[in-house]
Amino acid sequence: MNNLEKRKYEKGFEKVFHKLTRSSIIYECSLHIENTEGNFSWSKGYGGRSLDSPMVLTSVSKLFTTTCILNLIQQGKLSLQDNLSEFFDSEILQSIHVYKGIDCSGRLTVGNLLFQNTGFPDVFAVGTNCINKKMIRSDVSVSFEDYVKIAKESRKKFAPGAAGKAHYSDLNFEMLGKIIERLEQSSLHNVYKKYIFDPLNLQNTYMPENDCDFIPNIYHRENALYRPMLIRSIPASGGCISTSKEMMQFIKAFFGGKLFDRCIFEQLRSFAMIQYAPPLGQYGGGFVRLNISGIASLFRCKGELIGHMGASGAYAYYYPEKDLYFVGDNNQISAPGKLFTVPLQLAKVVSD
């Protein structure tokens, strides 16, 4: 990347960020962009945010869970083909997946969980008084038993392992978290430290476990919500705190092969559309793919953005076509579309 390109990119990124901050519902946000070598770096903060400001990762935390699963596969302790009956009591699995009158519970595998291919419903969005609505009104805690109960009582989307199918459900990753803890004989927080936080020397990335652990507010429209019980109750699917600077370290290590064998990662590149942003959004093995080629970018981009996004407004993506990483936090749960449009706009900047 020459100096002329750098200036062009910086001007374009500034324009995208300025447009974001002009939105009437964006009160705080940050954006950090780097290439692999680190000789290009651009960042911006708004509303008091900086590279070191703590942010609630919500579902970006799933990349941490995926990292641990890949390490266990690499060590031979786990396989994507392993049946869930190896890790969960019959009481939990009994009738957890009945589809069209057929009990499919015994067919569920680790791979189904990682690829969002179980057919479980989105447990946060089930019912007229769903968890998504409850957490806007007050702080709520969701136990693993709550997840299981909701799944058992709700209609399934498809049979486990249905070809080309994916449906986003946090239950899938909470079950992966339980599997990780069982195999490692340790808390998920300590396993994250073992495979991610300590190897990368992340000092400001953590999983809140008690009242002393700081949890930032998340905006819903103009209201700043403090939801410590909720965040602590969704550890494997969305319970971590980090900063833009440290998430950049992590996402570069994740896709750069520093946290696990890249050969294992290649097993995860099988995608199916998820319910929130078809045809742009697709799910692979523990990460999201935004297919930005073609009509999604009005034919102005090539390739893909890979990484994850979270309901809090956090996102971390890699754009292999241009070797750039985008880490940001819009901190607004009432604007889910920006999780897809902002990274797409950033990709357009370097593709024009």
Q: What are phi and psi of 254, to 5 degrees?
A: -60, -50
Query: Within 13 A of 311's CA, how many CA atoms are on the CB side?
Result: 17
- Residue 279, pLDDT > 80, answer no
Specify whether the CB–CB gap between 118 and 108 falls below 8 A: yes
Q: Does residue 1 register a pLDDT over 90?
A: no
Query: What was the pLDDT predicted at 278?
Result: 62
As a whole number of angstroms, the distance between CA 49 and CA 27 comes to 10
Beta-ladder partners of 290: 281, 305
Q: Hey, what long-range contacts does 316-322 have (CB within 8 A, 24 or more apart)?
A: 316/60, 316/63, 316/247, 316/248, 316/250, 316/251, 317/251, 317/290, 317/343, 318/251, 318/252, 318/255, 319/346, 319/347, 319/350, 320/255, 321/347, 321/351, 322/347, 322/350, 322/351
Average pLDDT score over residue span 13-17: 97
Distance of CA 70 to the CA centre of its chain: 16
pLDDT average, residue stretch 51-68: 98
pLDDT in tens, 86-124: 999 999 999 999 999 999 999 999 999 999 999 999 999
Q: Reply yes or no on whether the pLDDT at 328 is more than 90.
A: yes
With a cut of 90, say whether residue 296 has pLDDT above it: no
CATH 3.40.710.10 at 3-351, yes or no: yes
**Most confidently modeled of 289-298, 315-324, 330-339?**
315-324
Average pLDDT over residues 28-41: 96
| Per-residue pLDDT tens digits for 224-238 | 999 999 999 999 999
pTM of the model: 0.97
User: Residues near 66 by Cβ (< 8 Å), separated by ≥ 6?
Assistant: 114, 268, 285, 286, 287
Query: What is the average pLDDT value for the chain, to the nearest integer?
Result: 95
Terminus-to-terminus CA distance in the chain, angstroms? 15
Cis before 279 (ω within 30): yes
pLDDT digits (tens, 9 = 90+) for 297-311: 777 888 999 999 999
Q: What tens digit of pLDDT does each residue of 148-187 get?
A: 999 999 999 999 999 999 999 999 999 999 999 999 999 9
How much is the pLDDT for 21?
97
In the chain, where are the structural domains located?
A: 3-351
